[in-house]
């Protein structure tokens, strides 16, 4: 009987610390898991609002982008300013059907403003840029940027820290230059080649006159 009692005490003394350690390890792993889950995926508020309407500039002047001109809006991102993606993030934004100067993402649901940044986590800082171009070119913004008569424009490149839904706001109004957000997007109509040539010749003549 004494021998059995000794065995039981040995089992208790050797097994209890091990069980305690396993419980502590389980708690630590659970805490790490909950911390990772709390970050979640990163979102941005891609669509703009009435304070950051898109404008268009052509030979006749500037105007708020009308709903009658279909424009595609693409988001470009990179881990650094030098590693920006050449292809736009999916899905694209499109011209709002009823509000001039606005664009939204139809497949985003809800207000159509929020976009999920795949494979990016909340808390991560990424570099973003937005481009707009004539919708007839599909996703080929580069072709639109050199096609006479097409519309094209782009923001500068800026860093943003992603947050979980409802997302990081990336658009600032034109009267908030120090917000760290994008200025409202401006689209220009790509000029005809003859217009470009005349502009270059005019600049050359002015330079020659200045040198005299």
pLDDT digits (tens, 9 = 90+) for 72-126: 999 999 999 999 999 999 999 999 999 999 999 998 766 788 888 988 999 999 9
195 has pLDDT over 90: no
185 pLDDT higher than 80: yes
Longest dimension (CA), the chain: 118
Measured CA distances, 108 to 23, 83, 92 (Å): 43, 26, 10
Q: Which of 9-13, 108-112, 128-132 has the least mean pLDDT?
A: 9-13
Q: What is the pLDDT of residue 112?
A: 82
Residue 8 has pLDDT above 70, yes or no: no
- Quick check: 39 and 123 in contact, CB under 8 A? yes
């Amino acid at each position: 009987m004494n021998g059995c009692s000794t065995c039981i005490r040995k089992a208790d003394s050797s097994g209890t610390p091990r069980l305690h350690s396993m419980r502590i390890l389980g708690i630590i792993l659970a805490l790490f898991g909950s911390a990772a889950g709390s970050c979640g995926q990163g979102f941005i508020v891609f669509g703009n609002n009435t304070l950051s309407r898109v404008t268009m500039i052509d030979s006749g002047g500037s105007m708020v982008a009308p709903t009658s001109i279909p424009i595609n809006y693409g988001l470009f991102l990179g881990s650094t300013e030098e590693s920006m993606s050449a292809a736009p993030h999916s899905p694209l934004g499109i011209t709002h059907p009823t509000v001039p100067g606005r664009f939204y993402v139809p497949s985003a649901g809800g207000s159509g403003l929020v976009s999920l940044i795949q494979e990016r986590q909340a808390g991560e800082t990424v570099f973003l840029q937005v481009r707009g171009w004539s919708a007839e070119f599909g996703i080929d913004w580069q072709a639109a940027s050199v096609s006479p008569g097409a519309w094209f424009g782009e923001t500068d490149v800026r860093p943003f820290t992603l947050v979980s839904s409802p997302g990081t706001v990336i658009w600032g109004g034109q009267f908030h230059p120090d917000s760290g957000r994008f200025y409202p997007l401006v689209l220009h109509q790509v000029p005809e080649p003859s217009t470009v040539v005349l502009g270059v010749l005019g600049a050359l003549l002015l330079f020659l006159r200045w040198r005299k």
